[in-house]
Amino acid sequence: MRQAGVGGVAGATAGETAKASGVAGSRAGNERPSLARMYDYYLGGSHNFAVDREAARQVIAAVPDAPLMAQANRAFLRRVVRYLTETGIRQFLDIGSGIPTAGNVHEIAVDAKVVYVDLDPVAVAHGREILGGSDRATAIQADVRQPDRILSHPDVRRLLDFDQPVAVMIVAVLHYIADADDPAGLIGRLRDALAPGSYLALSQTCGDGRGPDERLASEEVYRRADHPLHPRTRAEIGRLFAGFELVEPGVVWVPQWRPDAGCLDDPAAAGFVGGLGRKPGLP
């Protein structure tokens, strides 16, 4: 539910500029719920509009833990970025970044280069405002389903050096990507562009351990909001790390990934499974 990356899955195969902008013209307002802004609402933020809150409240009605899940993912992201920073990673490509509010990558990895990618033009515009004229972080509008477009984006090329390790973050995004869009293939194209020693951080909803009623209820809510959900099993999520060596503890419920202290009583309540993989080889 860090909806971002597919911020506007709603409208959007955000392909052609003209097409996307034609749609964005209306979407830039607040007529349709944006995954990025719904996620902000789960996190207690006010970077959202009535239409986003309405959609988010419906999700919460179906999945009362939704705000907890968002928090758990944001905390997972924070721990991953801190881990990577300690490992020496200084470049981040955060795909599906959402509204870059407190605790985002550039605040945790303060001396790293960061490119935020989101499909929601409002999230991107907001991100640019927050980042101001920063020469080490920027936000671009793009679709996770078009990795080549992301990789060749001039801002990405300007800020990130793909001869050096880059951490690609795809946190709480892929459950909005259908199998038909070939998530493994999308990740493969990103992986191929990365230098050895690069990382992939990934999390998404996992249906394991959930009652079918609850699953159906949340899926129905997102489907009504034009954001159909695609939960995957932990094994399926593990396979998305093909070509990466998993960092301990592997693919787990996100609260279990290198927790600080006082882990949630029921990690599965977070609903998200995630992990961190390293592209083999010396940087």
Partner 1 sequence: MTAAPPEPAARWPGAAAFARAWAKAVMGTSYVPMTQAELEQHLLSLTVRLAAGLTREPIDVRVGYEIGGELVATHLTSPEGLGRTVEVIELRLLRDLGMACEADPDGAAVQDRLARVLGALTTGFTRALRDRTLDEQETIRRAALVARDQAERALRVSEARFRYQATHDPLTGLPNRALFAERLGAMFAAVASHETARIGLCFIDLDGFKAVNDSLGHHVGDQLLVAVAGRLGDRITQHLVARMGGDEFVVLIEESTCVDDAIKVADAALAAVAEPVHIGGHELCVSASIGIVEREVVGTEPNEVMRAADITLHWAKSAGKGRWALFDPERNAREVARYALSAGMPGALDRDEFYLEYQPLVSLAGGGLVGVEALVRWRHPELGVLYPNRFVGIAEETGLIVRLGSAILAQACAQAVAWGGDTYVSVNLAVRQVRDPRLVPDVTAILHETGLPAARLQLELTESAVMSGDDEPVSALRALADLGVRMVIDDFGTGYSNLSYLRTLPVHGLKVDGSFVAGLDRDPPDGSTDERILAALVSLGHTLGLTVTAEGVETAGQAERLRAIGCDAAQGWYFGVPGPAEQVPGLYPYAAVQNG
Q: Interface with partner 1 by CB under 8 A: which residues?
A: 17-18, 21-22, 24-25, 28-30, 37, 43-49, 68, 70-71, 74-75, 78, 99, 102-103, 107-108, 121-126, 128-130, 260-262, 264
**Do 106 and 137 contact (CB within 8 A), yes or no?**
yes
**Do 71 and 40 contact (CB within 8 A), yes or no?**
no
Least separation in angstroms between CB 186 and partner 1: 24
Least separation in angstroms between CB 69 and partner 1: 11
Q: Which lies closer to partner 1 via its Cβ, residue 60 or residue 240?
A: 60
CA 77/CA 72 separation, integer angstroms: 9
CA 149/CA 53 separation, integer angstroms: 31
182-185, Cβ contacts within 8 angstroms, sequence gap of 24 or more? 183/240, 184/239, 184/240, 184/242
CA 154/CA 142 separation, integer angstroms: 12
Nearest partner of 4 among 50, 51, 44, 52, judged by Cα = 52
What SS3 state is found at 200?
Answer: strand
Least separation in angstroms between CB 169 and partner 1: 15
Least separation in angstroms between CB 150 and partner 1: 18
Q: Which lies closer to partner 1 via its Cβ, residue 43 or residue 194?
A: 43
Least separation in angstroms between CB 132 and partner 1: 12
Q: Which lies closer to partner 1 via its Cβ, residue 23 or residue 200?
A: 23
Least separation in angstroms between CB 126 and partner 1: 4
Sorted by sequence, the CB contacts under 8 Å of residue 49 that are 6+ apart come out as 30, 37
Q: Which lies closer to partner 1 via its Cβ, residue 72 or residue 187?
A: 72
Least separation in angstroms between CB 194 and partner 1: 27
Nearest partner of 236 among 206, 262, 257, judged by Cα = 206
**Do 114 and 105 contact (CB within 8 A), yes or no?**
yes
What SS3 state is found at 197?
Answer: coil
Joined tokens for residue 184: 């493994």
Q: Which lies closer to partner 1 via its Cβ, residue 55 or residue 108?
A: 108
Least separation in angstroms between CB 195 and partner 1: 29
Read off the amino acid at residue 97.
Answer: S
CA 67/CA 59 separation, integer angstroms: 10
Q: Which lies closer to partner 1 via its Cβ, residue 99 or residue 169?
A: 99
Q: Which lies closer to partner 1 via its Cβ, residue 18 or residue 180?
A: 18
Q: Which lies closer to partner 1 via its Cβ, residue 46 or residue 134?
A: 46
